Amino acid sequence: MVNRRRRTRKSGTADESVGLSGWLYTDLMLGLAVVFLGAAVIKLPDLMTNEEGETVVASTTTTTIPIKLCTSLFAPDDQRNDDLLVKVRTSSEGQQLIDEFKYGLIVLYDNLNSRPDVQESGFVFDVETTKIGLVLARAGSNQSGNDTSSNARETRNKLGQLLPDIMGSAPGRDSYTTKIDESLVGMEILPLIELPCGTS
């Protein structure tokens, strides 16, 4: 029988596999770098030639994100002005009541639109489109001070039915006063205003 010897390596196999794994890791990183660099798109401006033969940059498009609007009640900081009350007669009905109310709104909105804070905001109060947020109605009473707040409530309810687009279901408070003629209802109108959120 022939005695065969096995050859054994003097260096361990563990060192050789660690060395190979290092090269494998390096190759993997190099390959991924090539893939990512190849996938990156660098957008250069499109060049075009106009009719005069000049090279110009082609136009680009922009996307505008819509501004979020917030609705709030517009209540001026200054003191109340009884001259700006929207006054209607308690006997008015139908179109006559609408006309009296809209005339009072025109006077009120002209005054509000002339204020510097409203002009700076860019908002414009309009009789046909501005929604009303709150109505503080005061019915006139005689000098004895009889409670006529039911007249204020009835007038406010009639206007809500006649003008649903601007009055809607605006809440209100009904009271009475001797400072207004008993044939009238004076209303303090607080309209709604839409501005970009975060502005006042």
**Domain-located, residue 139:** yes
**Domain-located, residue 146:** yes
**Domain-located, residue 31:** no
Residues 6 or more apart in contact with residue 190 via CB below 8 angstroms: 73, 74, 75, 132, 133, 134, 135, 136
pLDDT attached to residue 95:
92
HSE-CB of 13 using CA atoms within 13 angstroms: 2
User: The tokens of 110 are what?
Assistant: 């002209």
Mean per-residue pLDDT pooled into runs of 10, the chain (200 residues): 61 65 84 78 61 66 71 71 82 91 90 84 86 88 81 90 87 87 89 75
**Domain-located, residue 159:** yes
pLDDT attached to residue 119:
83
User: The tokens of 46 are what?
Assistant: 């499109």
Encode pLDDT of 115-125 as tens digits: 887 888 788 88
**What pTM did the predictor assign?**
0.61
pLDDT attached to residue 56:
64
**Domain-located, residue 26:** no
Our count of domains for the chain comes to: 1
Identify the domain containing residue 183 by its residue range: 69-196
How would you label 69-90 residue by residue, b for 16+ Cβ within 10 Å and e otherwise?
eeeeebeeeeeeeeebbbbbeb
**Domain-located, residue 111:** yes
Residues 6 or more apart in contact with residue 41 via CB below 8 angstroms: none
**Domain-located, residue 61:** no
**Domain-located, residue 113:** yes
